[in-house]
Structure formats: structure tokens, C-alpha cells
Structure 1
Amino acid sequence: MTMSFAFSTAESASVVGLEAASTTPALFSSIGMTDALAWVAIGAFLLALGLEWQGVREPARYLGTGAWFTFGVFWLTMVPYYYADAQSPLQTVLAVVALPLCVYTGYLLWNGRNSLFLLTKAIALMGLIYLPAETIPFVRQWLIETTAAQTHVAMELLGHSPGINEGANGYESRFDFDPDETVTGRTTYIVLACTGLGSMAIFGGLIAAVNAPFKRKAAAFSLSIVVIWFLNLVRNVFIGLASPWGWFQQEWLVSFMTTYMGAQPDRVSYLVAHNYISQVLAVVALVGITYVLVKILPEILAPLEEVLFVLTGTEYDLFEALGKSDARPDHRYSSQ
């Protein structure tokens, strides 16, 4: 699940970022370290899957192990940004625990848990959906500016028409609220994280990874895209209005955030709306969307079982628990 955030103090603008992770934050984008690590990990995942498909299973496991370790290091590089710049407790914790979880996944694969190739496939496909948009300028620009335009239309329906001008990212993505007329004097601009592409990539990767009839896979994918797009639009509008109009600038909250969280006083409303309310609700939304998709495409339970095993060390039969035993796929990946 990858996406990016940025912050411009000079323009008094906060970024509306709507996902739970980031691929190339401004802190690292100048040297391309995170992009390089992400591409190396995804490339190694794909090569390992290719070797496994050809029946060269032992080298595939070893390469897959290295890929998982690289993926973990990638998330580790995100910790300073999430902690110091984004000031997001949720993202910081997720990035910290990602390294040991990825290393453990690689360890399990190294020791013969071949069923993890299915989870590896899902992660690789998620990366293939997200990374090109992250690294191809015209695709990134189109996604960001289209999302900004749609968010502005939604704001107009609620009686706000600030206009759009150039954000710190160089795109027409900044909501041009007059700082002299708003409560905080701040505004927001859209980045790739605000497009919902990260969440779409998560479900796109899961859906594409499993074996199921095309019609059901297409229905599951279409539903997830529409729901994510709508919820993402709501979040953009919520954060885009909460920040300038100071919906969460209550004195006690400002005091707490500035004293214990190191926040700028005029940025509190943005941080509460984005880092706490929206990110927590995003997790709830992902769980809810997954539950609905299981009704259409129960085959996605297979990679989710692998996730639970990595997290708990216990085998779970989600197909049996949810009454979907007849949908359990007879996939090629089995544990040894």
C-alpha cells in the first residue's frame, strides 16, 4: 500500500494525503532511494514468481526471501518521514513493524511455506499498479489534477468555491482559499496519495492474484474502484475544508497537540482531520470493502489467510469460518 505526502510551509499549505503509507515523500524524492528500493523489491518478487512458475522452486524461494527483506527495508526508510514530517502515529507504527513482518515472511518462504507465493504475487501486482503512476510524470499529473478538480466541484456543492492554483508539487492542485478570510490561514493541495490509487492498488493486486472466473473478478474490481473513489472524494473534501476553516482548532486540542505532538498551532485542524480521523476511518473502510468483496470473490480469502498466519503464527481457515468452503481455490502454492 504506497503513496506520497508533501508539505509546504512557505505557501502555508497542508497536503491532503489519503492513504496509510507513502512511496516517495519529499524528504527522499531528491535521491530516489525509496523509489529504487520499491522497484528492486517488486522486480525481485516478479522474478521469483517467474522462477516458481517454471518449477525452479528452491531458487525462487531464495530470491523471494531477498525481495521480502528489501521490501521491509523500504518501509524502514519511511519511519523518519512519518514520525517527524507527516507526524502520523499510525503510519509511523505501521512502517516500524513492516520490517520485522517482511523479514519473517521471507524466513517462512525460505523454510518452505510455498503458499506465501500467492501473497508475494498479490504484493507484486499491487506494486505494478501503483509504481508506474508514481514514476511516470504525465500519469501522475493527470491523476492529481483530475482529483483536485473533482474535489473542487464537490466543495462547490457545499457552498465553497476557492478556485485552484499551482501547489508546491507544480500541479494545478492547490485550493486557493484566501488566508485572510479563513480561520487558520492555511489551505491544502492534492498529491498522488489523495487520488485513492494506493487503496485501489491493494484490492487490484488481491483480485488479480487469485484464480477465479473473469466475470466475478471484474465485478469485484469495479465495485472496489467505485467505492474507493467515492470515499476518497469525501475525505478530500473533509480535510480540504477542515484545515482552512479550523474545524478542530479547539483550545484544549491545540494545547495538547502542540505540547505533546510537536504540532504547529495553525496546523492542528489539518493533523486531526488527516492523521487521526481520516486514517482511522480509512482502515475501517478497507475492512468493510474487503467484507463486501468476499461475498463476490471469496477466493481473495486465500492470500488473507497467509497474512493472518504471518501476523499470528496460527493457521486460519477463513473459507470455513465464513461458510465459503466450496470456493477454496485449488491453487498451485502449497506448504511443505
Structure 2
Amino acid sequence: MSSLSASTAPPSVSSSALEGTSEAFEAATVTVPLSLPDFYTLAVSDVMGWIVIGTFLLAMALQWRGVTDGATYLAAGGWALFGVFWLWVAPHFFYEAQSPLQTILSIAALPLCLYTGYLLVRGRTSLLVLSNAVAFMGLIYLPAETVPVFRTWLIETTAAQTHFGMELLGSSPGLNEGSNGYLSRFDFDPDETATGRTTYIVLACTGIGSMSIFGGLIAAVAAPLRRKLAAFALAVGIIWILNLFRNVFVGLATPHGWFQYDPLIYVTTEWMGSVPERTSFLVAHNFIAQTLSIFALIGITYLVIKVLPEVLEPLEEALFVLTGTEYDLAEAVGAQPVSDGDSQPVRADGEGTDVGSDQPADRP
């Protein structure tokens, strides 16, 4: 999410850069694009993102060819670049998005990514599955951000469905063009609302970020295609529905001022440097919705594990990076191995084979 000025109009910027790392945009009666410095931050982040994903993909190609040492060192370099990427966008989350959670996570990502690369170089090649997951995540997310037709469809479809949800609750503001150029702005009359403000949908409001996370994890593990597709459909379906609930909640809380209470106004104005009228948006979106999304992702992960327990492998690697401790998540969550009748278990180090396949066993 990024704050928008309602008074001055800086030079226009490309919509892809505008949406790159944003969660949602709040608009006053008159809305304008991001500030020029923030535009450059997001534009450079797009380029950096493609470089990072390209590095991971090349490492994955070397792994498939059996060049483990080359894949390991290249993936380690990719993790270092990934950490720099997150540090680069941290100012955007702090100054523009005014999101404490995203700011903290983006800053913490640098040492964690560097540590992951260090572990790879020191011989923990099992982390390559986590590298592959990041590569697939990027392949899902970045095209959605940079291909205009796909981006337009996602944003405007989400906006239309969110508006339908508002109508079910007795509110029908209509849709018009937002500052991002899409038919995605909820056209509340500022004279008839408590705050005089409204919201509009951008790419990240579609849930594509969360979908790419699960898509990457699912694609990176060795498992039959049937169960991979089932797990992906389950995750995407739940994310899409919950995301619409979130959009409706934020979209109604903002204009109607559901959280315009003095203690909350004090927090958003004195601690976050916002204007009083934005309090309901910041509380609904940055505090409530983002916090609940963490619990939602945990719940979706549990359901995906029931269908595709193989995703525990990259999750265990991620936990090792965070804690330095080996975990057996299968035992912790009670996940049972799935017998498909056409495959044998594949170890994390790649030993073992998939019956009926002439590909290396560690190929996702």
C-alpha cells in the first residue's frame, strides 16, 4: 500500500512500476500517482526482480544437468541479490506504504537471504529446493505484473467482484477509473461519507502474491502432477475468496470511517505521520487485514500439506534458515505420506527415482 497525495500532481509514471510492491491504494477525491523518487524505487525493483529470478532459473537448469557445484554457487549469488532487492524496497514500505510489518520483513530479508547463500556454499545443497521455489514464484508473479493484458484482467476482475460483494452488503458506489488507469476505483460520493476518501484496486489486491508463493512451493517439489494441480487449485481458490472478503472490508471501512476513533487517530497521525482521514484505511488494511492474512496463510498451508505433503521439504529448509534447527514437520502436523501407486519417495538430496520417468529425481 502506498499513500497518495491529494493536492499536487507529480509526473505520471508507468502502471507496472506503480503496482510492483503495493498492497492497496487509498484515494481522496482527487488522486495522483506516486512521488517520483518512489517511482524509481519500484521501477528499479522490477528490473532487480527479473535478474534475481533469472539467476535462480539458471541455477535450477544447472541442477537439472547435474552440475551441482555450479548450481549451488549460482543460487547462493541469487540469494544475495534477493536480499538486496528487499532492502531496496524497504523505504517504499516505510514512507509510502506506511506498513510496519512489511518494512520489518523487508529489512530482515537481507541477513536471512545472505545466510541462506552462506549455507548453500557451506554444503547444504538441500536448500536448492527452496531456491527453485523462489524461481517458480517469480515466474508466476512477474509476468502478471509486467504483461498488460493479464494485469488489466486481474485488476478489473477483482474490482468488479469486490464491488459485487459491496452490493450484497447494501452498498453500491459504482466503479470508475483509478489513478492507475484501470476501472478499479470505488466511486463513493465524498460528500456522503465520513472520511471523504475511497480506495481502488491494484495488482497486489488480486492476491497474486500469495498465489505465487504457493504456486512456487508446489512446483518446486517432486510429486505427481495430479496432486500438484489439486493442491494449487485448493490454494488459489481459498486465496481468491478470502482476498475478496478483505477488499470488501477495506473498501467499506475507508469511506465510512469504521475506525475513526481518537486513540487510533493518534497512532496513525503521531506515529505514522498520516492525516486523520486515513485512519480507517490504515487500521483496516495495514493492521487488521495484514495480520489476519498471516493466519490465513498458515491455515492454507496446512490444507495444502494434506494434499501435497511434499511441500514440507522447502518449508523445513526455510525453518532451518530461520532457527538453525532441523525440524520434522510431517510428524509435527501429522502429515502422512501419500501413496499414488506410481511413484517412490524422493529424498531431499535428490537420491531416488520417480517410477516411469527418465528425468532426474530432483527435478520439480
- Normalising by structure 2, we get a TM-score of 0.84
In the alignment, what sits opposite 2:165? 154
In the alignment, what sits opposite 1:277? 288
Contact 1:134-1:192 within 8 A present in 2 as well: yes
Closer/same/farther in 2, CA of residues 29 and 162 from structure 1, 3 Å limit:
farther
SS of 1:174's equivalent?
strand
Q: Distance in 2 between matches of 1:178 and 1:8?
A: 18
How far apart are 1:214 and its partner, in Å? 1.8
In the alignment, what sits opposite 1:115? 126
How far apart are 1:331 and its partner, in Å? 4.3
1:8 aligns with 2:4: yes
Which among 238, 251, 272 is matched to residue 240 of structure 1?
Answer: 251
Q: Distance in 2 between matches of 1:11 and 1:284?
A: 37
Closer/same/farther in 2, CA of residues 286 and 30 from structure 1, 3 Å limit:
closer
Q: Deviations over 1:286-328 (max 9, x none)?
A: 0000011111111110000000000001111112333446456
In the alignment, what sits opposite 1:330? 347
Structure 1: give runs of 5+ residues left out of the alignment.
Answer: 13-21
How far apart are 1:31 and its partner, in Å? 7.0
Which among 187, 190, 206 is matched to residue 195 of structure 1?
Answer: 206
In the alignment, what sits opposite 2:277? 266
Q: Distance in 2 between matches of 1:315 and 1:65?
A: 20
In the alignment, what sits opposite 2:115? 104
Closer/same/farther in 2, CA of residues 331 and 255 from structure 1, 3 Å limit:
closer
Q: Distance in 2 between matches of 1:77 and 1:164?
A: 34
In the alignment, what sits opposite 1:168? 179
Q: Deviations over 1:168-224 (max 9, x none)?
A: 101111000000000000000000011011111111111111111222211111111
Contact 1:24-1:35 within 8 A present in 2 as well: no
State how 1:183-332 maps to structure 2 within 5 Å.
183-324=194-335, 326=337, 329-332=346-349
Closer/same/farther in 2, CA of residues 259 and 32 from structure 1, 3 Å limit:
closer
Which among 131, 135, 138 is matched to residue 146 of structure 2?
Answer: 135
Closer/same/farther in 2, CA of residues 72 and 333 from structure 1, 3 Å limit:
farther
Contact 1:72-1:100 within 8 A present in 2 as well: yes
In the alignment, what sits opposite 2:55? 44
Q: Distance in 2 between matches of 1:39 and 1:203?
A: 19
How far apart are 1:52 and its partner, in Å? 1.4
Q: Distance in 2 between matches of 1:107 and 1:23?
A: 28
Greater Rg by CA: 2
Closer/same/farther in 2, CA of residues 153 and 324 from structure 1, 3 Å limit:
closer
Structure 2: give runs of 5+ residues left out of the alignment.
Answer: 9-18, 23-33, 339-344, 352-364
Contact 2:306-2:335 within 8 A present in 1 as well: no
SS of 2:200's equivalent?
strand
In the alignment, what sits opposite 1:95? 106
Q: Distance in 2 between matches of 1:101 and 1:238?
A: 33
Closer/same/farther in 2, CA of residues 325 and 191 from structure 1, 3 Å limit:
same
| Amino acid paired to 1:330 | R
Closer/same/farther in 2, CA of residues 215 and 31 from structure 1, 3 Å limit:
closer
Q: CA RMSD in A?
A: 1.8
- Normalising by structure 1, we get a TM-score of 0.91
Identity %: 60
Contact 1:299-1:329 within 8 A present in 2 as well: no
Q: Distance in 1 between matches of 2:244 and 2:304?
A: 21
Query: Does 53-62 or 29-38 show the bigger shift?
Result: 29-38
How far apart are 1:111 and its partner, in Å? 1.2
Closer/same/farther in 2, CA of residues 162 and 31 from structure 1, 3 Å limit:
closer
